Amino acid sequence: MSDWIYQLEGTEAGHQAALLLALSAALLHAIFGSLQKGKVDPWLSRGAIDTALAVMSAPMAFFLVPWPEGSQWLLMIGAMVIHFAYKLGMALAYSRGAYTVVYPVVRGMGPFFTVIGAYFIFGEVFTLGQWLGVLVLMGGILGLALYNLRHIDVDRETLVPALWLAVMTGGLVALYTTYDAYAIRAMEPFTFLAWFFFLTALDFPLLMVWRLTRMEPSKRPALGQMARIGIPGALVAYGSFGTVMLATRLDKVGEAAVLRETSTVFAAVIGWVILKETVGPRRIALMSMIAIGAVIVEMAGK
């Protein structure tokens, strides 16, 4: 399958495949975020997801792909450190703020810094039209976050620190996007993915166990409840993180990062349909801005 990836790189078919992969990643990442935030402590939900990821990824890493060699291990260690920091930031933010406020801020900060990072690392250059699209998209995302901030009724007392954590975590999104794009280019794609999902999933299960030992037995979620979060969450993680990393291998890192942030639109729809949150004309307009910004980036790059 890696040969298929190599053949598509730099082609129009590769560009179209990257577009579809990035949009798929957007939908799946919104679902992933809602699973982690959910009704269970976000530290425990992420621990459950990572436990399932580690168990499911181990056979693939150990038996289906080659082991990393030499300096490739340094790339994997770097990914472990960066993604641990990102997951830590998400858990801290989710434990202090509402999903519909925190998630848009995290995702809104990512595209701008990723496009800049892609310029310095990969030599990618955005046109003025594409920069306009980035600004429109970011305006819609951050506008949605501000609107939610004004109208949300939960976690009001901890929203300010939650927002600062969300901003810093957004910077980590840009860091891991550019880093992973570099690493997946430096290694055989599916070797990187298999070891990535295994190694980066080893940290939060330990934190989950530590947190469970400090909780009152009556407050600990049932094992079945944890499994109902962990297994679907792991499957969604494969699709969410895997597809966007393949998209950055096939085409421009910056464009894939921008298109992925349409996940905020999907997150708002999830909030409306599943969480029963009200979606009025202002939120619809802001979501439309996000979609329009992504379309501008795509069209202006042709």
- The DSSP string of 47-69 is HHHHHHHHHHHHHIIIIISPPP-
* Average pLDDT rounded to a whole number, residues 30-53: 82
pLDDT band of residue 36 (cuts 50, 70, 90) is: low
Q: Which of 5-9, 165-169, 253-257 has the lowest mean pLDDT?
A: 5-9
Q: Mapping DSSP to helix (H, G, I), strand (E, B) and coil, where does residue 220 land?
A: coil
Output DSSP code: residue 219. Answer: G
**pLDDT digit string, tens, across residues 63-74:** 999 999 999 999
Does the pLDDT of residue 270 top 80, yes or no?
A: no
Say what the pLDDT of residue 121 is.
86
Domain ranges in the chain are 2-300
Rounded CA-CA distance 218/222 in Å is: 10
Burial 135-171 (b: 16+ CB within 10 A, else e): ebbbebbbbbbebbbeebeebeeebeebbebbebbbb
- Choose between 14 and 86: higher pLDDT: 86
Q: Is the pLDDT confidence value at 47 over 80?
A: yes
142 contact partners, CB below 8 Å, separation of at least 6: 104, 105, 108
Per-residue pLDDT reduced to its tens digit, 189-221: 999 999 999 999 999 999 999 999 888 888 888
In this predicted model, which residue has the larger pLDDT, 195 or 154?
Answer: 195
Instruction: Tell me which of 75-79, 96-100, 229-233, 252-256 is least confident.
Output: 96-100
With a cut of 70, say whether residue 277 has pLDDT above it: no
Residue 160 has pLDDT above 90, yes or no: no
Contact 181, 123 (CB under 8 A): no
CA dist 194 → 172, 174, 190 (Å): 22, 22, 6
